[in-house]
Structure 1
Amino acid sequence: MALEEKRKEKVEITHDMLIGDIIQAKPESINKFLQVGMGCIACPSSLYETLDEACMVHGLDPDYMLELLNN
């Protein structure tokens, strides 16, 4: 499947997804991460850190972030 076709599909973000995978699947998520103070786009940890782990490090509610990223 071409990358462009894949981006057209609705991607459901989950708690256990890696930050880097979220950004790759939904590039528009970058703005949402930045809005809450998460500079994940420039962080090397994004390659191996899940959404839940990143939220814990930044003191954010993972359920809130999940809702934000999926809307």
Structure 2
Amino acid sequence: MAENNAPVVNKDTMIGELLQIDTELAPILMSIGMHCLGCPSSQMETIAEAAMVHGYDADDLVDEINSYLSAKAASQPAQA
């Protein structure tokens, strides 16, 4: 986890795991053309595999996801 308690993902994170972290990540995935999020096989793809199949740079996708997660965590009230 990052300093602000945001989860951090990498290119080996599975799409299924990613959506368990935050279902609100679905629009980011759909924006690269990944409209098959409910498909069982997509759940077992890594971020890198999904990016490759959809012609998107995996590092850019990971950066976008981590930026979203960090911003969301920063906007949450601190927990005691």
Interval of TM-score (by shorter of Structure 1 and Structure 2): 0.7 to 0.9
Structure 1 runs of 4+ off > 3 angstroms? none
Deviations 1:13-52 (A, max 9, x none): 1110100100111211111111221124222222211111
Shift of 1:11: 0.9
1:18 matched to 2:14: yes
CA distance in 2, matches of 1:64, 1:22: 16
One-letter code aligned to 1:61: D
TM-score normalized by the length of structure 1: 0.77
More helix by share: 1
Give structure 1 stretches of 5+ with no counterpart: 1-8
TM-score normalized by the length of structure 2: 0.69
Indicate the structure (1 or 2) with the bigger Cα radius of gyration. Answer: 2
Give structure 2 stretches of 5+ with no counterpart: 68-80
On the 8 A contact 2:11/2:46 being kept in 1, the answer is: yes
1:70 to 52, 66, 72: 66
One-letter code aligned to 1:28: E
On the 8 A contact 1:40/1:46 being kept in 2, the answer is: yes
Count of residue correspondences: 63
The range that moved more, 38-47 or 48-57, is 38-47
2:43 to 40, 47, 52: 47
One-letter code aligned to 1:34: M
Q: What's the Cα RMSD here?
A: 1.3
